[in-house]
Structure 1
Amino acid sequence: MIEAVLVVLTKAHPGREADLDDWYTNIHIRDALRFRGSITAQRFVRSIHQPMAVPPQYDWQYFALYDVFDPERFSREHWENALTSRMMVTTAIDDSVLEDYHYYPLAFRNNDPDTAHSGGVVFEQFNAAPGKDAELRAWYADQYLPAAARRAGVQSAALLAFRSFGQMIPTTPKYNYVGIYKVNSSDSWKAWKDLPELACSPLVEKESLLVTHWDKLTDKLTKDHVQHPTSEGLAAEECARARMGDDVMTGGTEKLGTA
């Protein structure tokens, strides 16, 4: 059973995008799924098509979602293994700001469990207006999410909230709530253009509202894929490790939480 979703936003140092992509797809996701507490992981890349103007300081390039059944155990595994041979980190990643938080499901809807998710993600980030958290959660779960889930191409819809339990890093995110919409149509993002429902709701803090669109970068990888790899998957990981060599970070664990 999924207890939390780990939401990760990353970016590369200028000119190191290919190195970051190679490491994350072929090494890092596989290392993470070897840790206890995880179930699946998938990566996405920022789309050129966005439903709203994105602030220039929001310069993340990649987006990853991990389904997690034990966030506390998953975080502990990271604390114990970060920057060791079990979880080497490429110097290509810009770790000056960490955006790596577990969010906990409040509402979920899957329109067609028999159809696999094959596209990208529309990602909502927002806060409640002061003193309106309970009202926001009820309105979003009972009214907004069911309506948004009926938009063309939407495969599934979820509302999740941040809580301090089980987090990897000792900071709090800018956004307390996220909406994750997995879509199977390349045009689905257009339904979020100008954000009328969220932007006009008195329950949403307008200044914090941000909606972004991400294209599929990799297929979903499961723990079983890692524990019982195909020859192709194993070869991709071995080649990526050879390309990375000793170009790995040796410091920075202080940014993680402590047991």
Structure 2
Amino acid sequence: MIEAVLVVLTNAVAGREDDFDDWYTHIHMRDALRFRGSIAAQRFKWAARQVQDYPSGYGWDYMALYDVFDPARFSREHMENALTPRMMVTDSIRVDGLNDYHYFPLQFRDNDPGTRHDRGVIMEQIKVAQGNEEVFIDWYNEHYFAAACARPGVRKGAFMKFLPQGQLVDMVPVHNFVTTWHIDDASMIDAWRRDEALKNCSFIDQPSLSVTSWEPVTPKITEDEVINTNAAGLAEEERARAHMGDRVMTDRGDELKTV
């Protein structure tokens, strides 16, 4: 059973994007799924077409979503093993601006149960002032969520809230609510561009509202598929580790406690 979703936003060192992709896909994601507390993960990249305009940039190029059943255990495993042989970290990752927080589901709907969804994601990041959280949750659950879920091409949605327990870091994120919408294709972006509900919601801090679109880098992979890997998966992991070699981080500073 999913207790939380770990939302991870990252960047690669300029010119090292291929090294970063190779490490994250074939090494890091598999290392993380070997830790107790995880269920599945999938990687995404910033889509060419966005819901909102970002003239100053969004800040991150890559996103990973981890389905987690024990966030406290999953976080503890990360903190204990980062930069060790159990979780080697490439030097092609930018450690400034790492953003990874567990969000806990308030409502979930799957319009196509039993089918694995490996396509794109639209993510809503919402900041609501303390004192308005409960009335916002009621509004979102009763008026917004069902309508968005009914849009053609929406496969599933998860409306989630940040809670302090089980986190990788002590910091509080800018956005205390996140919703991930798994969609069929980029044509769904138009539905979000046309909709004014979030923009007109008085409970939302409008300057910080962010609705972004993400394209898949990998299909979803499960903990079981990593632990009981096939020959092809093992060969790719071994190749990626050989390619990475000793180009890894060794300084376990405060920033890397979240890797």
> Which residue pairs with 1:40 in the alignment?
40
CA contact (8 A) 1:169 1:255 kept: no
1:164 lines up with 2:164 in the alignment:
yes
The amino acid of 1:172's aligned partner reads V
> Which residue pairs with 1:141 in the alignment?
141
What displacement does 1:253 show? Answer: 4.1
Segments of 5+ residues of structure 2 without an aligned counterpart are none
The amino acid of 2:188's aligned partner reads S
CA deviations over 1:168-188 (Å, ceiling 9, x no partner): 122111110001101112311
The amino acid of 2:229's aligned partner reads P
Q: Secondary structure at the match of 1:67?
A: strand
Percent identity for Structure 1 against Structure 2: 50
1:92 lines up with 2:85 in the alignment:
no
TM, length-normalised to structure 2: 0.96
TM, length-normalised to structure 1: 0.96
Segments of 5+ residues of structure 1 without an aligned counterpart are none
Question: How many angstroms apart in 1 are the aligned matches of 2:168 and 2:75?
Answer: 5
CA contact (8 A) 1:153 1:188 kept: yes
1:61 lines up with 2:68 in the alignment:
no
Q: Secondary structure at the match of 1:25?
A: helix
> Which residue pairs with 1:112 in the alignment?
112
> Which residue pairs with 1:206 in the alignment?
206
Structure 1 residues 241-250 or 203-212, which shifts more? 203-212
CA contact (8 A) 1:129 1:202 kept: no
Q: Secondary structure at the match of 2:238?
A: helix
1:227 lines up with 2:224 in the alignment:
no
CA deviations over 1:176-225 (Å, ceiling 9, x no partner): 00011011123111111154110011121111100000011101110111
> Which residue pairs with 2:189 in the alignment?
189
CA contact (8 A) 2:128 2:175 kept: no
1:19-38 equivalences in 2 (<5 Å): 19-38=19-38
Change (3 A) 1:116 1:257: closer
1:239 lines up with 2:227 in the alignment:
no
CA deviations over 1:25-52 (Å, ceiling 9, x no partner): 0000000000000010000111001011
What displacement does 1:130 show? Answer: 5.5
Structure 1 residues 22-31 or 162-171, which shifts more? 162-171
Structure 1 residues 108-117 or 67-76, which shifts more? 108-117
What displacement does 1:56 show? Answer: 2.4
> Which residue pairs with 1:248 in the alignment?
248
Q: Secondary structure at the match of 2:178?
A: strand
Change (3 A) 1:130 1:74: closer
> Which residue pairs with 1:18 in the alignment?
18
What displacement does 1:54 show? Answer: 2.1
When the two chains are superposed, the root-mean-square deviation of aligned CA atoms in Å is 1.5
